[in-house]
Structure 1
Amino acid sequence: MGVASRLVDNGVRHGVAEHVCANDRWLTVRAAVSEAQELVLDVSDASAAFPDSAAALRGERGRGLARVLEQGATLSWFLHHE
Protein backbone atom coordinates (compact mmCIF):
# COMPACT_ATOMS: atom_id res chain seq x y z
CA MET A 1 0.00 0.00 0.00
CA GLY A 2 1.39 3.41 -0.93
CA VAL A 3 1.93 6.46 1.23
CA ALA A 4 -1.13 8.36 -0.04
CA SER A 5 -3.48 5.42 0.42
CA ARG A 6 -2.19 4.77 3.96
CA LEU A 7 -2.65 8.42 4.91
CA VAL A 8 -6.17 8.51 3.49
CA ASP A 9 -7.03 5.20 5.19
CA ASN A 10 -5.72 6.57 8.49
CA GLY A 11 -7.77 9.75 8.08
CA VAL A 12 -10.95 7.84 7.31
CA ARG A 13 -10.44 5.41 10.19
CA HIS A 14 -9.48 7.93 12.82
CA GLY A 15 -10.53 11.39 11.66
CA VAL A 16 -14.02 10.87 10.27
CA ALA A 17 -16.26 10.05 13.23
CA GLU A 18 -19.16 7.70 12.54
CA HIS A 19 -21.43 9.47 15.04
CA VAL A 20 -21.14 12.77 13.14
CA CYS A 21 -23.87 13.67 10.65
CA ALA A 22 -22.92 12.58 7.12
CA ASN A 23 -22.99 16.21 5.92
CA ASP A 24 -20.29 17.10 8.47
CA ARG A 25 -17.91 14.27 7.51
CA TRP A 26 -15.12 15.19 5.14
CA LEU A 27 -11.57 14.35 4.24
CA THR A 28 -9.39 16.46 1.96
CA VAL A 29 -6.19 15.38 0.22
CA ARG A 30 -3.91 17.99 -1.30
CA ALA A 31 -0.76 17.29 -3.26
CA ALA A 32 1.97 19.75 -4.20
CA VAL A 33 5.62 19.78 -5.16
CA SER A 34 7.88 21.83 -2.90
CA GLU A 35 10.67 24.13 -4.06
CA ALA A 36 13.05 21.27 -3.20
CA GLN A 37 11.12 19.09 -5.70
CA GLU A 38 9.61 16.94 -2.93
CA LEU A 39 6.05 15.67 -3.04
CA VAL A 40 3.98 17.11 -0.19
CA LEU A 41 0.72 15.35 0.73
CA ASP A 42 -1.68 17.09 3.09
CA VAL A 43 -4.51 14.94 4.42
CA SER A 44 -7.07 16.91 6.43
CA ASP A 45 -10.21 15.77 8.20
CA ALA A 46 -12.95 17.35 10.30
CA SER A 47 -11.44 16.24 13.62
CA ALA A 48 -9.38 18.78 15.54
CA ALA A 49 -8.13 16.03 17.85
CA PHE A 50 -5.25 13.65 17.33
CA PRO A 51 -4.90 11.91 20.69
CA ASP A 52 -1.29 11.12 21.46
CA SER A 53 -0.09 12.15 18.01
CA ALA A 54 3.57 11.72 19.01
CA ALA A 55 2.99 8.04 19.86
CA ALA A 56 1.06 7.53 16.62
CA LEU A 57 3.89 9.05 14.61
CA ARG A 58 6.31 6.67 16.35
CA GLY A 59 4.11 3.72 15.35
CA GLU A 60 2.94 2.99 18.88
CA ARG A 61 -0.79 3.36 18.14
CA GLY A 62 -1.07 1.12 15.10
CA ARG A 63 1.09 0.36 12.10
CA GLY A 64 -0.31 2.68 9.40
CA LEU A 65 1.82 5.74 10.06
CA ALA A 66 4.83 3.59 10.93
CA ARG A 67 4.54 1.99 7.48
CA VAL A 68 4.49 5.45 5.92
CA LEU A 69 7.73 6.29 7.72
CA GLU A 70 9.26 2.99 6.58
CA GLN A 71 8.66 4.10 3.00
CA GLY A 72 10.85 7.15 3.56
CA ALA A 73 8.21 9.78 4.22
CA THR A 74 8.49 12.55 6.78
CA LEU A 75 5.33 13.01 8.87
CA SER A 76 4.02 15.97 10.80
CA TRP A 77 0.70 16.90 12.33
CA PHE A 78 -0.76 20.34 12.94
CA LEU A 79 -4.07 22.17 13.15
CA HIS A 80 -5.00 24.13 10.05
CA HIS A 81 -5.90 27.74 10.68
CA GLU A 82 -9.44 27.06 9.39
Structure 2
Amino acid sequence: MTPPRPHATHPAVIARLLRAEGHLRAVISMIEDGKPCPDVAQQLQAVESAVRNAKRALIHDHMDHCLDAEHSPADRDELRAIARYL
Protein backbone atom coordinates (compact mmCIF):
# COMPACT_ATOMS: atom_id res chain seq x y z
CA MET A 1 0.00 0.00 0.00
CA THR A 2 1.23 3.48 -0.82
CA PRO A 3 2.25 5.62 2.14
CA PRO A 4 -0.43 8.15 3.12
CA ARG A 5 -0.03 11.71 1.97
CA PRO A 6 -1.97 14.66 3.31
CA HIS A 7 -5.28 15.41 1.70
CA ALA A 8 -5.78 18.91 0.33
CA THR A 9 -9.16 19.34 2.00
CA HIS A 10 -8.11 18.49 5.55
CA PRO A 11 -7.84 22.16 6.64
CA ALA A 12 -11.33 22.85 5.28
CA VAL A 13 -12.70 19.74 6.99
CA ILE A 14 -11.16 20.83 10.27
CA ALA A 15 -12.73 24.28 9.86
CA ARG A 16 -16.15 22.68 9.29
CA LEU A 17 -15.76 20.48 12.36
CA LEU A 18 -14.71 23.43 14.49
CA ARG A 19 -17.81 25.25 13.29
CA ALA A 20 -19.90 22.22 14.26
CA GLU A 21 -18.23 22.20 17.66
CA GLY A 22 -19.20 25.83 18.16
CA HIS A 23 -22.79 25.10 17.16
CA LEU A 24 -22.90 22.14 19.53
CA ARG A 25 -21.60 24.23 22.42
CA ALA A 26 -24.31 26.78 21.61
CA VAL A 27 -26.97 24.04 21.73
CA ILE A 28 -25.79 22.93 25.16
CA SER A 29 -25.87 26.52 26.43
CA MET A 30 -29.30 27.08 24.93
CA ILE A 31 -30.70 24.01 26.68
CA GLU A 32 -29.08 24.99 29.97
CA ASP A 33 -30.51 28.50 29.60
CA GLY A 34 -34.00 27.19 28.86
CA LYS A 35 -34.24 28.58 25.33
CA PRO A 36 -37.28 27.65 23.23
CA CYS A 37 -37.19 24.21 21.64
CA PRO A 38 -37.61 25.51 18.06
CA ASP A 39 -34.46 27.63 18.51
CA VAL A 40 -32.56 24.65 19.91
CA ALA A 41 -33.76 22.45 17.05
CA GLN A 42 -32.59 25.03 14.52
CA GLN A 43 -29.13 25.08 16.10
CA LEU A 44 -29.04 21.25 16.12
CA GLN A 45 -29.82 21.35 12.41
CA ALA A 46 -26.73 23.53 11.94
CA VAL A 47 -24.64 20.95 13.82
CA GLU A 48 -25.92 18.11 11.65
CA SER A 49 -25.30 20.08 8.48
CA ALA A 50 -21.76 21.04 9.43
CA VAL A 51 -20.83 17.45 10.33
CA ARG A 52 -22.50 16.04 7.20
CA ASN A 53 -20.64 18.53 4.99
CA ALA A 54 -17.32 17.75 6.68
CA LYS A 55 -17.88 14.03 6.20
CA ARG A 56 -18.81 14.47 2.56
CA ALA A 57 -15.75 16.64 1.84
CA LEU A 58 -13.43 14.18 3.58
CA ILE A 59 -14.85 11.14 1.77
CA HIS A 60 -14.91 12.79 -1.65
CA ASP A 61 -11.31 13.93 -1.24
CA HIS A 62 -10.29 10.45 -0.12
CA MET A 63 -12.06 8.91 -3.11
CA ASP A 64 -10.26 11.25 -5.51
CA HIS A 65 -7.01 10.39 -3.76
CA CYS A 66 -7.60 6.64 -4.14
CA LEU A 67 -8.51 6.93 -7.79
CA ASP A 68 -5.09 8.36 -8.53
CA ALA A 69 -3.30 6.04 -10.97
CA GLU A 70 -0.39 5.64 -8.56
CA HIS A 71 -2.47 3.68 -6.08
CA SER A 72 -2.71 -0.08 -5.80
CA PRO A 73 -5.77 -2.36 -5.88
CA ALA A 74 -5.62 -2.44 -2.07
CA ASP A 75 -6.10 1.32 -2.06
CA ARG A 76 -9.11 0.91 -4.32
CA ASP A 77 -10.53 -1.63 -1.84
CA GLU A 78 -10.17 1.05 0.80
CA LEU A 79 -12.13 3.34 -1.48
CA ARG A 80 -14.98 0.85 -1.64
CA ALA A 81 -14.92 0.51 2.14
CA ILE A 82 -15.15 4.26 2.80
CA ALA A 83 -17.88 4.80 0.19
CA ARG A 84 -20.40 3.08 2.47
CA TYR A 85 -20.33 6.16 4.71
CA LEU A 86 -21.82 8.39 2.00
- TM-score normalised to structure 1 length: 0.26
Larger Rg belongs to: 2
Which has more strand, going by share of residues? 1
Which has more helix, going by share of residues? 2
- TM-score normalised to structure 2 length: 0.26
Relative contact order higher in (CA < 8 Å, ≥ 6 apart): 2
